[in-house]
Amino acid sequence: MTKTAWLGLGVMGFPMAGHLAAKSDASVTVYNRTAAKSADWVGKHKGAHKPTPAEAVKEADFVFACVGNDDDLRQITIGAGGAFSAMKKGSIFVDHTTASADVARELHANAKEKGIGFVDAPVSGGQAGAENGVLTVMCGGDDADYTKAEPLIMSYARMCKLLGGPGAGQLAKMCNQIAIAGVVQGLAECIQFGMKAGLDMEKVIEVISKGAAGSWQMENRHKTMIAGKFDFGFAVDWMRKDLGICLAEASRNKAHLPLTALVDQFYSEVQAIGGNRWDTSSLIARFPKTK
């Protein structure tokens, strides 16, 4: 039986680790900063939990992680009691955190020095995608490491692809978030305009979603925008973190992201009215009430 470890049991990691346990032949040992969450996971799935990343990964052939940001990722890998100090040679670390390309390259190099594989593998699909096991996974790293890890990743993914060397997965996730930002803002403006014009926007969306205007965001988020209820997915705080990573990378590679910068500012306005934990469709909340 393949031995695995999972580090980080937040809204994404908890169900992803569950799919890994249920759909693969792998045993799963988990670690979470809040031990009660680890115990909860073990109560719902087969497996065990340990008090530190190092203890969780000692026997693992593959280690998966999904934490908050660059600093969290460094802490669980190269910090005190981190995974890299205890992983066996030839094992592979798969990181699903949305982080910077710089930290992916840094940890890839650090892992290689220790005889460990490292794949940066951020995901798209949100909490619903994690719960339903249909995430899209964008990967960077060495081909041999990716090829070994891919069958396990597919236990919670519907699409998984190696897109280049270390950091390529994180760069692809930046592309994903850049594209989403503009689409959500366009949808918010569309719905606000239609409601101001006195249209039944449910009927309008039913029609235009079948044409060139259609998108995942339109299909899945128009109802939240129309209803003004924003508790259905990826939080504004997380989106701003991701857009900040995109804008920082763009300042380095000289890409121009005027729309992304503008939408990031709009999300700061949503935060200012208390929408930190609202989902990203809350961009429409910036507009005056239409009803």
Strand order in the sheet with 123-124: 123-124, 135-139, 157-162
Q: How many CB atoms lie within 10 A of CB 243?
A: 23
251 phi-psi bin (left φ>0, alpha ψ -120 to 50, beta other): alpha
271 phi-psi bin (left φ>0, alpha ψ -120 to 50, beta other): alpha
The span from the CA of 53 to the CA of 266, in Å, is 38
Burial (CB < 10 A; 0-12, 13-18, 19+), residue 92, is: buried
Residues contacting residue 172 through CB under 8 Å, at least 6 positions apart = 122, 138, 140, 163
Is 223 labeled as catalytic in the residue annotation?
Answer: no
Catalytic residue chosen out of the listed positions 50, 114, 173, 254: 173
Catalytic residues: 173
